[in-house]
Amino acid sequence: MVFQPPPTVSSDHNPVLQPNECSSTLFQTIAAPASVVWALVSDFENPQRYKPFVRSCRIIDGQANQVGCLRRVDVASGLPASYSIERLEILDHDQRICGFSIVSGDHRLSNYRSIMSLYPNGSNETAVVETYVIDAAEANTKEETCAFVDTIVKLNLRTLSRVAEDLAGKAQQQV
């Protein structure tokens, strides 16, 4: 299916970049209501529900799922990092927009921030748009940095789609 960006797509998805930054916007269409997808992505405390590399997560500062809180994410072994500290930057339940930044960790992602918006496409489909901005890694080109991050974000979006569609399917069976 060809993704049609909604006409009202938030300007957050057109960031102004500094010379050392790179950015990418990824799209995913999900056959599940926006409420189901939002329940997953707005749960900042539990990214492991749809991010396959996340092994565990806990809130280390602030109140869970309130803007400003920090989470510590531990990732699967075999990756070039073991953990990441991330701050919830935006959580807009009305417009279904959430965003976080990576503040530290033992990885090489510097100044990473991401914003995700959901757009209901009728009652049973959701368009997801995710844009991230990151500093080009020291030893890598912008293209290499974005290729690495794109791989992770695409996998997260595909997993989100599968998990949300499973949940929506189960909910339907109970009716």
The dihedral sign for the CA sequence 76, 82, 84, 85: positive
Distances from the Cα of 145 to the Cα of 22, 77, 85, 140, angstroms: 8, 20, 19, 6
103 binds ligand A8S (CB under 6 A): no
Max Cα–Cα distance, the chain, nearest Å: 54
9 binds ligand A8S (CB under 6 A): no
6 binds ligand A8S (CB under 6 A): no
79 binds ligand A8S (CB under 6 A): yes
- Please report how close the Cβ of residue 134 comes to ligand A8S at its closest, in angstroms: 8
Nearest CB to ligand A8S, comparing residues 90 and 124: 90
Q: What is d(CA 97, CA 154) in angstroms, rounded to the nearest whole number?
A: 18
88 binds ligand A8S (CB under 6 A): no
Structure tokens at 77: 């072994």
Binding residues for ligand A8S, rule: CB under 6 A, are 51, 53, 73, 75, 79-81, 84, 102, 105, 107, 109, 114, 149, 152-153, 156
